[in-house]
Chains A and B, each alone.
Chain A
Amino acid sequence: EPEVTQTPSHQVTQMGQEVILRCVPISNHLYFYWYRQILGQKVEFLVSFYNNEISEKSEIFDDQFSVERPDGSNFTLKIRSTKLEDSAMYFCASGIGGLYNEQFFGPGTRLTVL
């Protein structure tokens, strides 16, 4: 059964460093999402992406964040200058339809900022 995959599973970085979190969505999906979950808190929407552009973003998704689909298979989240409060689990999701259709989640990348 096709799955969303994410790499790495755990990323440790120093404050101020750039990180890139990688996702491979399910191959025929057209809609892509990033979420994050700070330990002990809710899963929060960051951004949605369709047709090679951002369709929605939350207030969390500020200028430090960017997303890219550099080729036909990868979907990346870049954090330019990490802060301590960026430490969280980051989930990628993809869907064949839009918002009112199932989103398939990857296993997540745990980001630790020291």
Chain B
Amino acid sequence: GENVEQHPSTLSVQEGDSAVIKCTYSDSASNYFPWYKQELGKGPQLIIDIRSNVGEKKDQRIAVTLNKTAKHFSLHITETQPEDSAVYFCAAIDYKLSFGAGTTVTVRA
């Protein structure tokens, strides 16, 4: 089955700096890669996704890149703000949603 690895497990950035989270996946048949943000006491919430026919997607301060050959995909958050502090999960879909282990992002004011 699909195995998603996510790094780093924790990330501390100064407000205004960029944050990058990287994931790899194992199943070349996976073709949809969502990213979820989880705030304290809440369930994961989709923030952006990318499909395998696209190499990059951007939504305001958030961007995702996908390298299907290398089976890598990344989340980039620019101009980080305190409200970006949360746990971020990458995921890949073959027949089910397979999550990475999560990255705890802390934005220092």
Contact = CB atoms under 8 A, between A and B. Distances in A.
Q: Do A and B bind each other?
A: yes
Interface of A: 4, 33, 35, 41-45, 48, 56, 58, 91, 93, 99-100, 102-108
B89 interface: yes
A99 B38 CA distance: 20
B43 A106 contact: yes
Nearest to A91: B43
Nearest to A47: B96
Nearest to B34: A102
B96 A58 contact: yes
Contacts, number: 48
Nearest 9 A/B pairs, CB to CB: A105-B43, A45-B96, A43-B99, A105-B44, A102-B46, A100-B32, A42-B99, A42-B101, A106-B43
Interface residues of B, number: 22
Chain B at the A interface: SS class:
strand
A93 B32 CA distance: 17
A81 to B, nearest CB: 25
A48 B46 contact: no
B44 to A, nearest CB: 5
Interface in B1-22: 4
B73 to A, nearest CB: 15
A46 B49 CA distance: 22
